[in-house]
């Protein structure tokens, strides 16, 4: 009959199992110590200046009211320009009937290498294609062409047309997707 001898772990194996929790505790202690050291070396709170009171702040505002003008002096301003006293208004018979800018809409800008042109749309008429330097009715000349705008000039007047900006519709008042509701225990 053979007796089996039960093997007992030796002292070295017992210490190996005991070293693991000791090592974990030492590592945790070192991490806490480093955190405390970091908190102690953290910068101090900023030193703010005291708030200024309203009486210390001066805006340079004076309590001056504008002068009151009579109706006669106000009508004189309309008759003769303010910044040029020797200039008189044009007589009614000599005034030119200036044509306003035609009712057209900028629908496209094309820039293809050296050639550049725009497309204009007039209600109830075919589209118009213009290149820089071309003239629109009423002697309006296409003078500048930008990525989203075209500028026309006539005798010192300027008129700029821009491409329309499409906007997204407003969001719906109720959600388009409804999720099923589940009761939680």
Predicted local distance difference test score (pLDDT) of residue 111: 86
| Separation between Cα atoms, residue 108 and residue 98, nearest integer Å | 28
Whether the model clears a pTM of 0.85, i.e. scores above it, the answer is: no
Most confident of 71-75, 99-103, 125-129, 166-170: 125-129
Instruction: Give the pLDDT confidence of 122-136 residue by residue, as tens digits.
Output: 888 888 899 999 998
Most confident of 10-19, 61-70, 153-162: 153-162
What integer is the mean pLDDT of 92-111? 74
Q: Is pLDDT of 42 > 60?
A: yes
- Whether 68 is in a domain gets the answer no
The rounded mean pLDDT for the chain is 77
Q: Express as a percent the part of the chain with pLDDT over 70.
A: 67
What integer is the mean pLDDT of 10-15? 56
Residue of 154, 161, 162, 159 lying closest to 135 (CA atoms)? 154
Residues spanned by the domain of 130: 105-159
Residue environment code for 83-100, b if the CB has 16+ CB neighbours within 10 A, otherwise e: eeeeeeeeeeeeeeeeee
Give bridge partners of residue 119 from the DSSP assignment: 108, 129
Predicted local distance difference test score (pLDDT) of residue 7: 64
Query: How many structural domains are present in the chain?
Result: 1
- Whether 164 is in a domain gets the answer no
- Whether 98 is in a domain gets the answer no
Helical residues (DSSP H) of the chain, grouped into ranges: 11-41, 71-79
């Amino acid at each position: 009959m053979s007796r089996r001898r039960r093997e007992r772990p030796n002292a070295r194996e017992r210490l190996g199992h005991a070293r693991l929790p000791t090592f974990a505790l030492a590592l945790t202690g070192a991490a806490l110590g480093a955190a405390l050291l970091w908190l102690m070396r953290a910068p101090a709170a900023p030193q703010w200046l005291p708030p200024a009171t309203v009486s210390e702040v001066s805006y340079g505002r004076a309590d001056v009211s504008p002068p009151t003008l009579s109706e006669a002096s106000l009508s004189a301003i309309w008759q003769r320009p303010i910044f040029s006293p020797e200039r008189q208004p044009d007589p009614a018979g000599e005034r030119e009937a200036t044509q306003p800018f035609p009712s057209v809409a900028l629908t496209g800008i094309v820039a293809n290498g050296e050639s550049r042109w725009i497309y204009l749309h007039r209600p109830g008429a075919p589209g118009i294609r213009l290149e820089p330097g071309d003239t629109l009715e009423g002697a309006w000349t296409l003078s500048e062409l930008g990525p989203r705008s075209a500028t026309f000039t006539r005798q010192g007047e300027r008129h700029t047309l821009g491409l329309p900006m499409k906007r997204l519709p407003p969001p719906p008042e109720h959600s388009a997707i409804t999720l099923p509701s589940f009761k939680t225990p």
